[in-house]
Structure 1
Amino acid sequence: MSEEMNQVEVRSFEVGDKVTGQVSKVEEKQVVVNLQDSKLDGIIPISELSSLHIEKASDVVSEGDELELEVLKVEEDALILSKRKVDALKAWDQLEKQFQNGEIIETEVKDVVKGGLVVDLGVRGFVPASLVEAYFVEDFSDYKGKNLTFKIVELDKEKNRLILSHRAVVEEEKGKKKQNLLDSLTAGQVIDGTVQRITDFGAFVDIGGIDGLVHISQLSHEHVDRPTDVVQEGQKVQVKVLNVDRDNERISLSIKETLPGPWANISERAPKGSVFEGIVKRIVSYGAFVEVFPGVEGLVHISQIAHKHIATPHEVLKEGQEVKVKVLEVNEQEQRLSLSIKELLEKDVEENFDYELPEESKGFQLGEVIGEQLKNLRK
């Protein structure tokens, strides 16, 4: 085609016209295309190939690719075209629909820049560092080239502004998982969990995306002063669900309920006739309760405390005192132990007490007092 005819055909195009062209040559900083239904060639500068910064035109297109383009400039013998503008127009329409519908978009992270990540969705999308994950990330270099899911959190076509969040997707999924778990939980279930946090009043256990509280009273069958005496952060534990408050998303758990009770196998551990060192825990009018194992108390009836007659157990025992006891009877089903202190005491030693003589007998021999009483009886 002569140069004059070429110029005539060029002038038949206007800025903003949409054209289709096939890539005939890929150079480092530009691309040459053959325009459909025309003998003309068009040129796409590298800056008009993508919404993102690219180093080589071959990173975006290859020879033979068919592209939809927009006329940027009409020069004397050539058209300057843009792929980026056509892609952006299509992209904004799609992105607005996805934004309105709250759709999740999956795409590749094209670049890591100061303050966040960059993606290409037909237009440049930015993911601020605070919206990448639900936790702090120090180094984002490993994210380049990764495919991630995003939600659009801000869209402004006029300002060419597109802000995305991966964190929103993660938190939404976590919320759904949490709700599903709440719906599936029932009192009495036994499940595995991991201790997440420990407080003065108990431990929070992660049971699969949601935390439940094990109150300090539910950590062990034994008395617990500090939760850290029983559990540690990161520890794997088995818990029983005590209660589920779905409205307030609160779950009450128990570790104690999953452990063998202190009375388990007590018939084998404390058979009739066995002897233990115990601690007097409580004293009542009819006897004393002595702890022989953590959480296992047996009753020493008042008649089994001493060989001599005592009016109250306090005459002989005090709370916290260590005593030796013998098992008289054991009933595992009713969780009862009958114990004896008396059985382990020597009778003659117990009865060797120094009784004080009556006031009127002072100054006399005991035999004389008894003799005088016998005389009175014979009268």
Structure 2
Amino acid sequence: MSNTNPSRDDFAALLEASYQDHDVAEGAVVKGIVVGIEKDMAVIDAGLKVEGRVALKEFGGKGGSELKIGDTVEVYVERIENALGEAVLSRDKARREESWVNLEVKFNAGEKVEGQIFNQVKGGFTVDLDGAVAFLPRSQVDIRPIRDVTPLMNTPQPFQILKMDKRRGNIVVSRRTVLEESRAEQRSEIVQNLEEGQTVDGVVKNITDYGAFVDLGGIDGLLHVTDMAWRRVNHPTEILQIGQTVKVQIIRINQETHRISLGMKQLEADPWDGIGVKYPMGVKVTGRVTNITDYGAFVELEPGIEGLIHVSEMSWTKKNVHPGKILSTTQEVEVVVLEVDPVKRRISLGLKQTLQNPWEAFRDQFPIGTLVEGEVKNKTEFGLFIGLEGDVDGMVHLSDLDWNRPGEQVIEEYNKGDIVKAQVLDVDIDKERISLGIKQVGGEGQGSGPSGASGASASASGPAEPGEMRRGSIVTCEVTAVTDGGLEVKIVDSDYTSFIRRADLARDREDQRPERFQVGQKVDVRVTQFDKKAHRIGVSIKALQIAEEKEAVQQYGSTDSGASLGDILGAALKGRGDEE
């Protein structure tokens, strides 16, 4: 039989079961009904054991003035019952929970959200996203760092959610990403209206060491320093300043990165056009030194045209000297055009070519057979280096120190700084070498020849036999070929061949013509070099003429006696003919 009179315990159990049917847990958002308004509080029935109170200011508006009894509102259940026997409810937290749900949807979809910057905190700012509080790092406020954020405060604006962590209640947003996206759209639209080769006006926005950024009306282009002018520009500030309006040409457009390269010099005539006519090879020109490097110096011939003086073309004699010790920047110099390459836009210049080749000058002043005097500059294992006029050096080989003693022994008698006399044996202009001989000079203490006569007087004995050949000997040779550069000859009664250069065909320059000779013609020559081991011999008609002249002067008297040089040579040749 059922219990028609339930006890007090039965009633409590039934009441507890009715509450469990609602299944409302703390931390949930539920709907409640406004059952009363007391001063600044709203009494809410959320279907819990007890009613709860919520401050009217949490409902927004003017202190919740629009709220009235019977309205249905969503509230957040913080506690089902507190110590006062009331439910602890919150409208703010309910709104935040609602916002989190909406923000997560937009975050997953990559959509932007709207919010307001309302406070500044360490490292950035706080943003109200319709009840949810997000963090805006300082680096994400704008594309460029900004000092004053006041104009952005409490102003509705779009943001992009970068990170969300509901468990920690952490949301990170960015305003910069939205601006960059918007700017990219603008840039794309502007780029579509630009073409390579187009001439536009722009404003210099920023200047760096390598160029300047020019605003083309919403998009920046780079004007590189090398495209500012045809001439050398060391720094963009030489011709530009921030805020200046410039006319530029669009050189390149990268459609993927929207990078634009600009040029100013392209709007002017190219000074390299017809450069070969302006500066033909071999012409002397004057220019200004603009830059000096380890490998040479750059010389500006005119605005936009620079040439390079390579270090090897700086000086005839100073081989291992830094260009900065020969030239200085801004110096005006005269140079010779050596080569012009219009394709590579290069001009090779020479500085030493404006001066006479010192080896040519020495050869003209001191022909083969001439006696010279100089200071011992250096001693080596193969000979002595003698300083000569014209800032050139000559070398005395060990074999040319003495007729009788080994060179290794004789060289020990010489020291740096000694002044010595020597005879010019050979001058090689191409290799920049001067060969000297001390033993050929003769004289006391200088090493005379086997017969006591110096090499200069060896011509008195007439042509030497092949077996007697030595430097200074006179031999007869036969012309085997005539070339523009000289004669190919064969020493008579021997298997030695040699080549007589044009400069060695005669003492007088007007007679140094190979066409004066014929193949098969026999001529007497003087041996200037002889290396038996290497089977090599050097001969010269010019050296023979000089030696004969000296011998004639010694035998028939000085030219100071009144007799002409021609008379003396004539007498010498006549005497030689009578002997024969």
* TM-score, length basis structure 2: 0.38
Match of 1:196 among 202, 205, 221: 205
How far off is 1:141 after superposition? 4.1
**Root-mean-square deviation (CA), in Å?**
4.4
> C-alpha offsets along residues 133-165 of structure 1, whole Å, 9 cap, x if unaligned?
222234444433122221111101111111111
Match of 1:181 in 2: 190
Match of 1:132 in 2: 141
Q: Following the alignment from structure 1 to structure 2, what is the Cα–Cα distance between the partners of residues 19 and 285?
A: 98
> C-alpha offsets along residues 110-155 of structure 1, whole Å, 9 cap, x if unaligned?
3233332222223221212222122223444443312222111110
Match of 2:74 among 68, 87, 92: 68
The answer as to 2:115 corresponding to 1:107 is yes
Match of 2:263 in 1: 254
How far off is 1:17 after superposition? 6.8
Q: Following the alignment from structure 2 to structure 1, what is the Cα–Cα distance between the partners of residues 225 and 94?
A: 64
Q: Following the alignment from structure 2 to structure 1, what is the Cα–Cα distance between the partners of residues 136 and 63?
A: 22
Structure 1 residues 302-313: aligned runs within 5 Å: none
- Give the SS at the match of 1:84: helix
How far off is 1:200 after superposition? 4.7
The question of whether the paired residues in 1 share the 8 Å contact of 2:231 and 2:304 is answered with no
Match of 2:97 among 76, 80, 89: 89
- Give the SS at the match of 1:238: strand
| Counterpart amino acid of residue 170 in structure 1 | L
Question: Which structure has more RCO (C-alpha within 8 Å, separation ≥ 6)?
Answer: 1
- Give the SS at the match of 1:109: strand
Q: Following the alignment from structure 1 to structure 2, what is the Cα–Cα distance between the partners of residues 128 and 41?
A: 42
The question of whether the paired residues in 2 share the 8 Å contact of 1:195 and 1:205 is answered with yes
Q: Following the alignment from structure 2 to structure 1, what is the Cα–Cα distance between the partners of residues 64 and 137?
A: 29
The question of whether the paired residues in 1 share the 8 Å contact of 2:42 and 2:56 is answered with no
Q: Following the alignment from structure 2 to structure 1, what is the Cα–Cα distance between the partners of residues 105 and 47?
A: 34
> C-alpha offsets along residues 318-369 of structure 1, whole Å, 9 cap, x if unaligned?
x989xxxxxxxxxxxxxxxxxxxxxxxxxxxxxxxxxxxxxxxxxxxxxxxx
- Give the SS at the match of 1:253: strand
Gaps of 5+ in 2: 1-14, 272-276, 287-301, 306-331, 335-580
Question: 1:286 and 1:163, CA in 2 relative to 1: closer, same or farther beyond 3 A?
Answer: closer
| Counterpart amino acid of residue 31 in structure 2 | V
How far off is 1:26 after superposition? 7.7
The question of whether the paired residues in 2 share the 8 Å contact of 1:26 and 1:62 is answered with no
- Give the SS at the match of 1:74: coil
User: Higher Cα Rg: structure 1 or 2?
Assistant: 2
Match of 1:21 in 2: 33
Match of 1:244 in 2: 253
Gaps of 5+ in 1: 1-7, 51-56, 264-280, 298-318, 322-379
Structure 1 residues 328-367: aligned runs within 5 Å: none
Q: Following the alignment from structure 1 to structure 2, what is the Cα–Cα distance between the partners of residues 23 and 224?
A: 83
The question of whether the paired residues in 2 share the 8 Å contact of 1:23 and 1:31 is answered with no
Question: 1:284 and 1:152, CA in 2 relative to 1: closer, same or farther beyond 3 A?
Answer: same
Question: 1:74 and 1:199, CA in 2 relative to 1: closer, same or farther beyond 3 A?
Answer: closer
Match of 2:41 in 1: 31
How far off is 1:289 after superposition? 10
- Give the SS at the match of 1:130: helix
Q: Following the alignment from structure 2 to structure 1, what is the Cα–Cα distance between the partners of residues 137 and 56?
A: 27
> C-alpha offsets along residues 42-67 of structure 1, whole Å, 9 cap, x if unaligned?
311589x49xxxxxx87764342653
Structure 1 stretch displaced more, 128-137 or 138-147: 138-147
Question: 1:247 and 1:69, CA in 2 relative to 1: closer, same or farther beyond 3 A?
Answer: closer
> C-alpha offsets along residues 208-259 of structure 1, whole Å, 9 cap, x if unaligned?
4443232345424666454222111232223221222334544221234557
* TM-score, length basis structure 1: 0.55
Q: Following the alignment from structure 1 to structure 2, what is the Cα–Cα distance between the partners of residues 233 and 95?
A: 44
Question: 1:226 and 1:295, CA in 2 relative to 1: closer, same or farther beyond 3 A?
Answer: same
How far off is 1:32 after superposition? 1.3
| Counterpart amino acid of residue 112 in structure 1 | Q
